[in-house]
Amino acid sequence: MEASSIDIVVFAPLAPILGVLLFWFIQLVFIESEKYLLSKIRPKHEPFCRFTNFLGIFFQTICHALGYTVTKSGISNFYIDIDYGKVAPKKEKKGIFEWVSNVFLFIGPFFIPAFLLLICLFFLMNSGFEITTATQLQELRYTFGEQITSFGASLFSFTNAFLNFLFNIDLLHPAHFGFLILMIFLGMGIRPSYIGKEKKEKVDMLYDLKNIKALFLNKPLYLIILFTLAYILFYVSFWFNINWYVALFVILGWLSIISILSIIIADLILILIKTSDEISGNKKALPYITMPTSYIFARVFFFYIPTDFTRPLSILILILSTITVTYFLTKRKTDKFKTKSDIKKLKKKRKGVKDG
């Protein structure tokens, strides 16, 4: 079996790019789900939604400022509040510099905050950062298939290690706990829900895609340069037989995975908030109290009766007890409206009396 030259020269470099695009789209879909949940809880949790919005605007503004710093435009004005963020450059640079700073503004928020978490993960996780070579057949190396499989295998290895870390997370360890909080913050505020005080402009998937489309279509030459650079890097990797090319895109894939998992955790919290809103009175605080209490109880229990899976079991107990408590409390809410005597029985009794 031999690889065709066209495959290696033309199609292979596209493989990791398509892989990153796929994961980025998945990220966008998850962001959309989060925006939906936030819009559902907004009437009752306005300050919380404002906080998530502030996080989103904060990430976006920092990315924009980073763009101006990288392009050496300087920052003359940095303004941020809960509705709006603005960064003004010292020197108005045109051409490629302006384009690069816009790339930071429009694409940066999806990857740059997650990059900070990736740095933290380097210190917390022992494995998962390997770039896997998928095929053992030398003839098939640097083909489209090998590139995409290599990209996928590297992502799989990272995701596996990351999920393993998350299920074994020690919530009594300050670094682990801090990482989880950062993850939740990233998930909650990966994108703001709206921008501007007066006009409530919703920042949804289409808004982001329109901006990115305009960014690329306004300057098609830069897009061609970007692709040319990608191809050059691929050929250099091929020449030296070290897969730097896939490694570069795998890092972007890792960032997408971190973002997706952060959004999933944030979504779970939002679902809990939405569900607990249905519980009446002070009892709505019970699910939130159950979370730390059940975890500490489980850790103390497993401290005296040690097992091999203390941490994952404690996490499992936390999740199950929170779900159980929330379920019973929401179920009780509907019971409240039921009459003491069964209506069907009452109807039968009434009919019996009428009949004689």
Residue 206-245 contact track with another protein, rule CB under 8 A, x = bound: ----------------------------------------
Distance separating alpha carbons of residues 300 and 303, to the nearest angstrom: 5
Among 43, 47, 95, 306, binds another protein (CB under 8 A): 47
Among 11, 51, 216, 301, binds another protein (CB under 8 A): 51
Distance separating alpha carbons of residues 263 and 205, to the nearest angstrom: 14
Determine the interface stretch with another protein among 89-97, 166-174, 246-254, 258-266 (rule: CB under 8 A). Answer: 166-174
Cα–Cα distances (Å) from 93 to 66, 78, 101, 273, in that order, read 15, 17, 10, 45
What tokens does 152 get? 């996928």
Minimum distance between the CB of residue 46 and another protein, rounded to whole angstroms? 8
Determine the interface stretch with another protein among 44-52, 118-126, 305-313, 348-356 (rule: CB under 8 A). Answer: 44-52
Determine the interface stretch with another protein among 67-75, 161-169, 172-180, 241-249 (rule: CB under 8 A). Answer: 172-180
Minimum distance between the CB of residue 265 and another protein, rounded to whole angstroms? 21
Minimum distance between the CB of residue 54 and another protein, rounded to whole angstroms? 6
C-beta closer to another protein: residue 42 or 50 = 50
Determine the interface stretch with another protein among 3-11, 49-57, 264-272, 274-282 (rule: CB under 8 A). Answer: 49-57
Cα–Cα distances (Å) from 120 to 163, 178, 256, in that order, read 15, 10, 15
Minimum distance between the CB of residue 62 and another protein, rounded to whole angstroms? 14
Residues 79-118 that bind another protein (CB under 8 A): 81-82
Minimum distance between the CB of residue 180 and another protein, rounded to whole angstroms? 15
C-beta closer to another protein: residue 45 or 333 = 45
The number of CA neighbours under 13 Å toward the Cβ of 263 is 26
Residues 322-341 that bind another protein (CB under 8 A): none
Among 54, 59, 151, 179, binds another protein (CB under 8 A): 54
Determine the interface stretch with another protein among 50-58, 114-122, 220-228, 322-330 (rule: CB under 8 A). Answer: 50-58
Minimum distance between the CB of residue 301 and another protein, rounded to whole angstroms? 16
C-beta closer to another protein: residue 157 or 310 = 310
Among 174, 196, 220, 281, binds another protein (CB under 8 A): 174
CB atoms within 10 A of CB 131: 18
| 173 lines the binding site for another protein (CB under 8 A) | yes
Contacting positions for another protein (CB under 8 A): 46-47, 50-51, 54, 81-82, 172-174
